[in-house]
Amino acid sequence: MKGLWLADRQLQLRRDLPIPEPIAGEARVRVLQAGICNTDLELLRGYYPYAGVLGHEFVGVVDRGPEHLIGQRVVGEINATCGQCRFCLSDNSTHCENRTVLGIVNRDGAFADYLCLPEKNLYLVPETVSTDAATFTEPLAAALEIQQQVQLHGGDRVLVIGDGKLGQLVAQTLALTGCDLLAVGRHSEKLANLEARGIRTGFADAVQDRTFDVSVECTGNPEGFAIALRALRPRSTLVLKSTYAGKLSIDASALVVDEITLVGSRCGPFPEALKLLAENKVDVSPLIQARYPLSEGLKAFAHAQRKGVLKVLLAMGDENAQQS
Amino acid sequence: MKGLWLADRQLQLRRDLPIPEPIAGEARVRVLQAGICNTDLELLRGYYPYAGVLGHEFVGVVDRGPEHLIGQRVVGEINATCGQCRFCLSDNSTHCENRTVLGIVNRDGAFADYLCLPEKNLYLVPETVSTDAATFTEPLAAALEIQQQVQLHGGDRVLVIGDGKLGQLVAQTLALTGCDLLAVGRHSEKLANLEARGIRTGFADAVQDRTFDVSVECTGNPEGFAIALRALRPRSTLVLKSTYAGKLSIDASALVVDEITLVGSRCGPFPEALKLLAENKVDVSPLIQARYPLSEGLKAFAHAQRKGVLKVLLAMGDENAQQS
């Protein structure tokens, strides 16, 4: 089968990969569509020493596995867990110490014709949810994780920094909580997507210092972190939603003096994400900027790496793919 | 009157300071004894651009102010607040945006014969609490702030890093919660103080990676922070109790991937601290390493700056002071 293979920071399109065979408890999925995420770009830059097929945002159809799943359209939780370690047993299975992670840690990913995941990781995609929308389930779940970690109260002043893929999903999900939301970024045309949904937006200079109850950093750069910190009133919360290449230099004394809480936030709940998509409460369509067939995966990556580009999709059925 | 005066990172003993006059709502306190804190040493190093009398840990006797306080032995909350700003009105008065802070921000401090504070800041010292013990009320309250911010459950694995003044008070207060506590430091003789109270101690190599539910960083140095972080299991909490000179470089991606919460922690509740002292549940006596009269205040600072020294006290009645 075909697949985008990462080794030594080099990505290549391979056509010689064996179609994977699911082991007991796993299902095999024929991938329909997959999305390129910033984490993929960071893996390419060597953020984590992964080798194998890249990709973890996908929609596919089960072609091997339990009867009730065969032929069904599914998305998949990316952390494949052991079910037996202390984290799995304490309801923290996404932090399983023996986990593999689809396309990230020791498990071939979704930028291929087929992938395997444990059956328990798979979620049926409701009929009313398009394959395009479902491709965003994983990042949407990650956006929803914030609400699992931080208790938001109606009227709380919440700031989202970053108008990229993640920032836009975070802003859309937070807007549903009834908080007093401001989303800031650097690109009018991206912020316009949010404005169109009734979300107040602005550039960094719209952020009044020391006035927000919660800020969510979705840029992954130190400038974004600085805005997130200066925006906060004392005894408030900064959510770190992006990973950072290298170390981040922070004024830890400011955290102490203002008693700020910093919350690292990663993967989130798939069922809630699918529910939002089924209810049409989140609109992912403005995020899609290009489509490529898997056979043009290297071009797709080059596109995704361009500054300011939002979501680039890979379609596994070559005949249907086209660049939009 | 006499006082230790800081200006341009230079400390001097002045004998020409006017005895302060309390304004409406304030009381004047004749200082009996005061303690040198790491924050004082950091102010001396230029951590914050303060000029005036240093010092914020004290016990004294009210000599001007409301009738019921005159002649009473008191300690004082160091944040003098406006009572009217949004933080004061939302029960976050220690973060008052107009606050002055005794010996730290725009308010002459406790290393002098007299000081003034708002009446509402003063707390009577119970008769059973010695002046030595009461001198630790402020740092003990700061140690207790952790329990106001982080919910500890019986059996939680908690790590305290640092065997200095603050670390020892933090460890003693956390031990009272019934958590499964380990305190680590670099000095056997300091750790022995905690061992004597039944607290398990060790050096850094006693810390097993990824096993603690809460870690409390009390060293103020990057090595301490690194231990605090590696000790934590995913989805756990790191409390920053120390201020840091300069910036701290952290692996923010690790915070995100492991969904760690970082909590900055500063001043705490005086009544609870006095209650613990009255109940004799905390023993501060092993922390006292030297006593100087105010007139030898510069010597006292030189002593406090020596590596590994715990609490150095200043006695304002010269005749009673002696180096122990």
Q: Which residues contact B209 (CB under 8 A, 6 or more apart)?
A: B230, B231
Residues of chain A contacting B223 with CB distance shorter than 8 Å: none
Task: Using the CB atoms, write b or e for A15-46: b if 16+ within 10 Å.
Answer: eebeebebeeebbbbbbbbbbbbbbbebbbee
A49 touches chain B (CB under 8 A): no
Residue B322, pLDDT score:
43
Residues in A 200-239 with any Cβ partner in B closer than 8 A = 210, 225, 233-235
CB of A116 closer than 8 Å to CB of A20: yes
- Note the pLDDT tens digit of each residue in A224-248: 999 999 999 999 999 999 887 778 8
If you average pLDDT over every residue of chain B, what do you get? 94
Q: Which residue has the higher pLDDT, B186 or B324?
A: B186
pLDDT-wise least confident of A236-250, A266-280, A289-303: A236-250
B97 CB neighbours in chain A (<8 A) are 210
Read off the tokens for B284. 């501060």
What is the 8-class DSSP label of residue B305?
Answer: T
SS (H, E, C) B233-253: EEEEEEEECCCCCCCEEECHH
Predicted pLDDT of residue A102: 97
Partner B contacted by A47 (CB < 8 A) = yes
Is residue B102 over pLDDT 60? Answer: yes
Q: Give the pLDDT confidence score for residue A322 in this predicted structure.
A: 43
- Under the phi-then-psi rule, with left for phi > 0, alpha for psi from -120 to 50, and beta for the rest, what region is A27? beta
Classify domain A143-264 by CATH architecture: 3-Layer(aba) Sandwich (3.40)
pLDDT at B318: 53
Distance, in Å, from the CA atom of A63 to the CA atom of B175, rounded to the nearest integer, reads 56
- In this prediction, residues B281-288 reach a mean pLDDT of 96
Check whether A324 has a pLDDT greater than 60: no
Please tell me the distance from the alpha carbon of residue A53 to that of residue B42, in angstroms, as a whole number: 52
CB contact under 8 A, B259 and A249: no
Chain B residues inside the 8 Å CB shell of A259: 95, 149, 263-266
* pLDDT confidence of residue A295: 97
Question: Is B259 in Cβ contact with A265 (below 8 Å)?
Answer: yes
What average pLDDT does this structure show over A172-184? 97
Note the pLDDT of residue B193. 94
Q: Do A244 and B264 touch (CB under 8 A)?
A: no
Which residue in A208, A198, A203 sits closest to A219, CA to CA? A203
Confidence at residue B247, expressed as pLDDT on a 0 to 100 scale: 86
Residues comprising chain B, all counted = 324
Dig out the tokens for B203 from the structure: 């050096």
Q: Please list every residue in chain A whose beta carbon sits closer than 8 Å to the beta carbon of residue B251.
A: 247-248
State the pLDDT at residue A145. 96
Give B320's pLDDT tier (boundaries 50, 70, 90).
very low
Q: B141: distance to nearest CA of chain A, Å?
A: 15
Check pLDDT > 70 for residue B321: no
Residue B249 Cα, gap to closest chain A Cα (Å): 4
Query: What pLDDT digit, counting tens, does each position of A50-60 carry?
Result: 999 999 999 99
pLDDT at A178: 93
DSSP state of B112: B
One DSSP character per residue, A45-62 reads TTSS---EE---EEEEEE
Q: Please say whether the beta carbons of B152 and B288 come within 8 A.
A: no
Under an 8 A CB cutoff, do B248 and A247 touch? no
**Minimum distance, in Å, between the CA of residue A66 and any CA atom of chain B:** 32
ipTM, two decimals? 0.87
Mean pLDDT, rounded, for B218-236: 95
Q: A319 pLDDT band (50/70/90 cuts)?
A: very low
- Average confidence (pLDDT) over B42-50: 88
- Percentage, residues of chain B above pLDDT 70: 98
Give the model's confidence band at A318: pLDDT under 50 very low, under 70 low, under 90 confident, else very high.
low
Q: How many Å is the Cα radius of gyration of chain A?
A: 20
**In this model, does residue A171 exceed pLDDT 70?**
yes
Question: Across residues A267-296, what is the average pLDDT?
Answer: 96
The CATH architecture one would assign to domain A3-136+284-320 is: Alpha-Beta Complex (3.90)
pLDDT in tens, A92-128: 888 998 999 999 999 999 999 999 999 999 999 999 9
Amino acid at A89: L
Read off the pTM. 0.90
What is the predicted pLDDT for the residue at B187?
Answer: 95
pLDDT of residue B244: 78
Q: Which residue of A has its CA nearest to B150?
A: A261
Q: What angle do CA A315, A129, A29 make, to 5 degrees?
A: 45
Domain assignments of chain B as residue spans, ordered by start: 3-136+284-320, 143-264
Q: What average pLDDT does the structure give for chain A?
A: 94
Residue with tokens 């906060």: A232
Average pLDDT over residues B182-201: 96
Q: Across B25-84, where does the E strand assignment appear?
A: 26-35, 52-53, 57-64, 73-76, 79-80
Cβ-based contacts of A240 with chain B (< 8 Å): 252, 255-256
Distance CA B143, CA B270 (A): 11
Q: Considering only alpha carbons, which residue of chain B is nearest residue A96?
A: B234
